[in-house]
Amino acid sequence: MISNLNAANAYNTARQLAAPAHAASSGTAGKLGDAAEEFAAQMARVDSVSTGALTGQVETHQLVQTIAEAELAMETVVAIRDKVVEAYQEILRMPV
């Protein structure tokens, strides 16, 4: 299970990947792919914990914690997407 510290570390890693200094480094695409896979795994955990809570196999506090972690992951992904769109729009505004 992911703790709040792990979620904060994942957010910090994603924030560093979105920074301009890492754009030129090799392996950035691989790191972004890993982050996307980790995000997909987090969403899958939410699904399984939700199902477990509905069937009575998972306690409520674990469900709430998992949903909070998923919310943090979603906010991180949305922030990264916003930065990518902003960078794309900046490139479109450049004179040719």
What is the percent of the chain with per-residue pLDDT over 70, rounded to a whole number?
Answer: 79
**Calpha distance 63→25 (Å, rounded):** 38
* Least confident stretch, 18-32, 50-64, 79-93: 18-32
Q: What percent of the chain has pLDDT over 90?
A: 52
Q: By residue range, what is the domain housing residue 52?
A: 4-93
Q: Tell whether the model's pLDDT for residue 19 goes beyond 70.
A: no
pLDDT tens per residue, range 37-76: 999 999 999 999 999 999 999 899 999 999 999 999 999 9
What DSSP line would sit under 1-45, residue for residue?
---HHHHHHHHHHHHHHHSGGGTTSTTHHHHHHHHHHHHHHHHHH
Give the number of domains in the chain: 1
CA–CA dist 8, 78 (Å, integer): 15
